[in-house]
Amino acid sequence: MNKQPKYRQVADALRREIDGGDYPPGSRLPSESELSARFDASRNTVRSGLNQLVSEGLISSSQGLGYEVRKHEVFKLNASRFENLTFEQNGDAYNTDVTNAGRRPSQTFRVEMTPANSYVAERLKVDGGSTTVLRFCHRFVDDVPWSTQATYYPDWLAKEAPRLAEPGDIAEGTTRYLATAGIEQIGYFDEIATRMPTPDEARLLDIGAGVPVLLWTRTGYSDERPIRCTITTFRGDLNRMNYEIGDLSARPESEPK
């Protein structure tokens, strides 16, 4: 006989049907009571099964509406080209990338002075708790929260490049501005991790249960020392990071889907 618990049978059956295309992305699942009748299980048991799929990120639910099959269009971010070392873009690579994809970018922005936490302090090689300039972006694509980006600059750098600590955009791009101030960024160290979002992140990025975040930390170096640390938090279901290494001339223009 079937020794799987009933709630898991429900989850497995629905997962198969979703994967098989019976319920395409964006469509609605039958209601809990219908499923309850179909599987001859109590509403609680059906809910357990649905909950499983929610925490796998396959479906989402809203009160009064029902369960919907999640649609996920991933957005590709070419990290090795993102701020190319030879071709310095003017900082809004995000804007051009999103616009090129036919989507509408928007963002909120703020600047503040804040003590470095241990994670940032370690990467900037400054003392924990010492002051840093934080430039923070909250980015949207078609008004859907997409990512948050926090860039920390060490105190000594803000003294040499005072516009860093002023509110408002730096039109020519911070990297280029720093170059005019004599600080040239010649290398990066990228770290990529994933985990489930904290409640704060889930709120900021409007992440439902079952969607992990992709954490991207980029530490930029001059020829002497680290000059910035950028921590970007992406919705894991909507983003993919790409790196090109070496000679890819054999690679055609069209990227894999």
Partner DNA sequence: TTGCGCAACTTGTTGGTACAAGCTGATGCA
Partner DNA sequence: TGCATCAGCTTGTACCAACAAGTTGCGCAA
CB of 91 to its own copies, least distance (A): 17
From 56, 88, 92, 155, residue interacting with its own copies (rule: CB under 8 A): 56
From 2, 62, 248, 253, residue interacting with its own copies (rule: CB under 8 A): 248
Distance CA 72, CA 257 (A): 13
211 binds, among DNA, its own copies, none (CB under 5 to 8 A by kind): its own copies
Contact by Cβ (8 Å): 132, 153: yes
Report helix, strand or coil for 157: helix
CB of 49 to its own copies, least distance (A): 13
Distance CA 211, CA 82 (A): 25
Contact by Cβ (8 Å): 231, 68: no
Q: Which of 48, 55 has the CB closer to DNA? A: 48
Q: Which residue's structure tokens are 């049978």? A: 9
The verdict on 188 binding its own copies (CB under 8 A) reads: yes
Contact by Cβ (8 Å): 214, 241: yes
CB of 166 to its own copies, least distance (A): 27
* Residue 220 DSSP symbol: E
36: nearest Cα among 45, 28, 27: 45
The verdict on 9 binding its own copies (CB under 8 A) reads: no
The verdict on 201 binding its own copies (CB under 8 A) reads: no
107 binds, among DNA, its own copies, none (CB under 5 to 8 A by kind): none
Which residues, numbered 122-181, are part of the site for its own copies (CB under 8 A)?
Answer: 122-123, 125
Stretch that binds its own copies, among 28-36, 100-108, 120-128, 141-149 (CB under 8 A): 120-128
CA distances from 1 to 35, 93, 218, 239 (A): 22, 57, 53, 42
Amino acid present at 212: P
Q: Which residues bind DNA (CB under 7 A)?
A: 5-8, 29, 31-34, 40-45, 47-48, 61-67
Amino acid present at 48: S
Contact by Cβ (8 Å): 123, 219: yes
Per CB under 8 A, residues contacting its own copies are: 12, 15, 55-57, 74, 76, 79-80, 85, 119, 122-123, 125, 186-199, 209-214, 221-226, 236-237, 239-252, 256-257
